[in-house]
Amino acid sequence: MSYFDAASSAPLHPVARQALVASLDEGWADPARLYREGRRARMLLDAAREAAAEAVGCRADELVFTSSGTKAVHSGVAGVLAGRRRVGRHLIVSAVEHSSVLHAADAHEGDGGTVTRVTVDRAGAGGVRAYADALRADTALACLQSANHEVGTEQPVAEVAARCQEAGVPLLVDAAQSLGWGRAEGAWSVLTGSAHKWGGPSGVGLLVVRKGVRFAAQGPADERESGRAPGFENIPAIVAAAASLRAVQAEAAQEAVRLRELTERIRVAVPQLVPDVEVVGDPERRLPGIVTFSCLYVDGETLLHELDRAGFSVSSGSSCTSSTLTPSHVLKAMGVLSEGNVRVSLPFGTPQEDVERFLEVLPAAVAGVREKLGAPVPSTVVRENVLVVDALGKLCPLPVIELAKVIGEVPVGGTVRVLADDEAARLDIPAWCEMRGQEYVGEEPAERGTAYTVRRMT
């Protein structure tokens, strides 16, 4: 079995395993106690904090360990917003942030705060000018991920941090996806990370708050972790997390070159091997191990099952799954195709043979799913009237499949109206038009659902 979902959770690094086992016998006591066992535990915790701080590029007394990356984000956002409440209650986030950031923004908005959600380009990057324009006199905090979790696009953190610094606004960086590759750039103010993303154990996050940033921890008071992360520290897991972070960063430069070559092989080969595919994300400014593509006329959940049976574990931001009937918020914000979406994220040490075998398996898997769904066969029938396609009650990717089946039946300049009530059609029909060189005219309410109009151009 080839595990290609490191962006969700990386396999436990050997150094993490060794550190975890070694610290179980010494790190079980309360580090707040003054007796021998407590002092031993405190020494392990302090050493782990210093190692993690060196890897992040901050002072040890600026870093605390939390129970998860999500908890670090929620604590960081809430703490800064509360600490700067006198400045105002305006929060800035990008539209492609991790769900933990967006959920924190929703909670802030529900509590009476205001939120600006900065749009991104088709590659998934937020604009420096857009962030600068969003800054206001009452802005308490801005948030920007270091790299996107779904498509791997790196964000202009250093440039945005400089603009925020000029305006006197702290910038929170979610560095969970990139921290294993190195430090976050720029004059950021708050940073979060998650150990299981870089090969550490799950259940360990980190929160860094720079000196000088006004911060008020929320919730009942607790003496642990400078009052910012309540509860008894899981010292063996923390030691393993810090040790593995240093280990992967030491390997990062060499491994990045190798994984970039492998992901570039996928980026180039997939469109050649599989027709009607869109590779998404920035081709240059991206993390080394992530490549994401979407396949027309494919049910994402079924494709993932087919790849699983073939021995590959991948993930998807597709709207075509039973658990999420709306498109990924990242793909939606980018305006790219969501159906048949596959994210390949290679862990450290992935052999080239596994990538080649994936490329051998993928075309047949996609073709099989398309055949089951009745993907279109080119048609030469020409009609002069406007065609109306009734796709009501049909879920992604069926509305696009029905459109593709009939677009050849109208003359160049003729139009097709697709009636659909699946939310994914609002994203996938325009994306299909851009891929196929057709004109997306627009949408309008229909008696049932929505009517999407497409003009044939080729």
User: Annotated active-site positions, please?
Assistant: 320
Spatial contact of 76 and 172, defined as CB atoms under 8 Å apart: yes
Gap between the Cα atoms of 349 and 15, Å rounded:
14
Spatial contact of 306 and 340, defined as CB atoms under 8 Å apart: no
Residue 279's identity, in one-letter code, is V
Structure tokens at 77: 């956002």
Q: Is 49 exposed, middle or buried (0-12, 13-18, 19+ CB in 10 A)?
A: buried
Structure tokens at 325: 């009937």
Gap between the Cα atoms of 360 and 59, Å rounded:
48
Cα 358 to the center of its chain, rounded Å = 22
Q: Of the candidates 136, 140, 165, 133, which has an alpha carbon nearest to the alpha carbon of residue 89? A: 140
Which residues, including other chains, have CB under 8 Å from residue 366's CB and lie 6 or more apart?
Answer: 274, 295, 298, 303, 340
Gap between the Cα atoms of 403 and 405, Å rounded:
5
